[in-house]
Amino acid sequence: MDRIGGRVRTVPFGDGVVEVGAEWIHGIGNSSTYRTAMQHNITILPQDPTFKVYQSDGTETDDELLLNDLVNFCFVLVGQKHTNFIGGMGEFITSRLLPYVKSKYPYLIKDTGFLPEFIGLMNSYISVHEATNDWNEVNVQSEYEDLKGHQHMSWHRYGYKTLFELMLNTYNNGPGLPNLDIKLNTEVTQIIRPEDGADVRVVCVDGSTYTARHVIVTVSLGVLKERYNTLFNPGLPLGKIEAIEKTSIGTAGKIILKFDKAWWHGQDAYYGFMWKLEDKVKLRIEDYWMTKIFGAGRPRGSTNTLSFWTSGEVGKLLEVLPEDIVKQKCMELLRKFMGKLYDIPEPTGIIRSSWFSNPFTRGSYSYDNRLTTQNANDRRLLAEPLRDSLGVPRVLFAGEATDSHHFSTAHGAVDSGHREAMRLINNSKL
């Protein structure tokens, strides 16, 4: 692409910056990204939004404490391992949520509308967190592990781009790394691995060729799925091909609207959209995707912008719908849910993500699907280098999808690159 950062993309917007890609540092214990910020005295702020939930009839739910308690109860379960449960994430959470509600809020059991509506909201919320269509596509027996500490640490006004400025030594007008040569706008079409021990050749679409003793491939799982057949010569071993095909990558989408000034209340409040069942039925089929935008919230880097989140097939759809339609429908959502309580002006700008339609990403991040337990070694196979006849790793693989415990995160991606660099540094055969 024409920039560094991959699926991290900080953009000036509103009165500050917004993150079109990765938004937060997830956990601070043993986090390479958090540690890098701390080493350079950069303040990272916790963003722990309070949910204010609005319903599709325009009313705000009565009990904010109850809603946030239930949201937090569900979300805590997402980061835990559940080795004895057979089923999807949604089935697991629901099986724990209902007894919790029955014991703590028994009057809600008799409310035939609230629980299904709340579960619908949580399905959309957790689907965005996992980048899936539905929360039941996610395997609860995943090897994913949360890092300890706050799960939503924000780069706020600095922007996630700061991580790359620190790594490149360009932060705060640093001199950079003189020996580092980064080729932007240079699409790779083939990685040729000679059998005779010669250097690996990297062939580009413009005809240029680069040679090296070792090559580290960090493209996304989505790009591997699309190009593994043509990208590698000779082709990949069967085990790695099967791992690429069986591991899943999803799409998490953002639409970010800019306003002249903030018209909403609450610095960190997140405005959840909870559809009443009868209102969902009234929607036109072509507008049903609107029910998969679970809410809007203010990003920490800008005071006059709101981010709308969605995922899965709806996330892909919103990348290609005409921009004016997307903006119009997002405003319809805001006014339907919040228009009775706020005077909502027209936005003055829009940005939306395009991680699936981008040929150099083809998705946002990977997740463990329902077959993960049958293919438990797939991420290790994704990370396995291609070696020559002497066992020397010649083509190596990094990227979030290759990290068995921290996939889907920026720190997982960073750590995987470090892992492969250390594999070369520590290899006695090189």
Q: Model pTM?
A: 0.94
Of 61-75, 78-92, 149-163, the range with the lowest mean pLDDT is: 78-92
Position 389, amino acid: S
pLDDT, tens only, 15-29: 999 999 999 999 999
Task: Please report the DSSP string for 123-181 in residue order.
Answer: HHHHHHHHTSSSGGGBBTT----PPSS-S-EE-GGG-THHHHHHHTT-GGG----TT--
Q: Assess whether pLDDT exceeds 90 at residue 407.
A: yes
Of 176, 148, 158, 161, nearest to 41 (Cα)? Answer: 158
Cα(118)–Cα(70) distance, integer angstroms:
9
What's the rounded mean pLDDT across residues 122-141?
Answer: 95
pLDDT score for 196: 80
> Burial, 43: exposed, middle or buried (Cβ in 10 Å; 0-12, 13-18, 19+)?
exposed
What pLDDT sits at residue 428?
Answer: 67
Summarised one tens digit per residue, pLDDT across range 156-171 is 999 999 999 999 999 9
**Domain positions in the chain:** 10-43+152-173, 188-249+361-425
The predicted-structure confidence for 191-227, as pLDDT tens digits, reads as follows 999 888 899 999 999 999 999 999 999 999 999 999 9
| Range scoring the smallest mean pLDDT among 16-30, 256-270, 350-364 | 256-270
On the CB side of 379, CA atoms within 13 Å amount to 26
Amino acid identity of residue 412, one-letter, is G
**Range from 72-86, 265-279, 381-395 carrying the lowest mean pLDDT:** 72-86
188-249+361-425 belongs to which homologous superfamily? FAD/NAD(P)-binding domain (3.50.50.60)
Phi and psi of 20, rounded to 5°? -80, -25
CA 358 from centroid of its chain's CA atoms: 15
DSSP H/E element including 190? strand 188-192
Confidence of residue 357 (pLDDT cuts 50, 70, 90): very high
Mean local confidence (pLDDT), 303-317 = 97
Query: Tell me: the pLDDT tens digits for 89-113?
Result: 999 999 999 999 999 999 998 888 8
Cα–Cα distances (Å) from 338 to 218, 235, 266, in that order, read 43, 54, 14
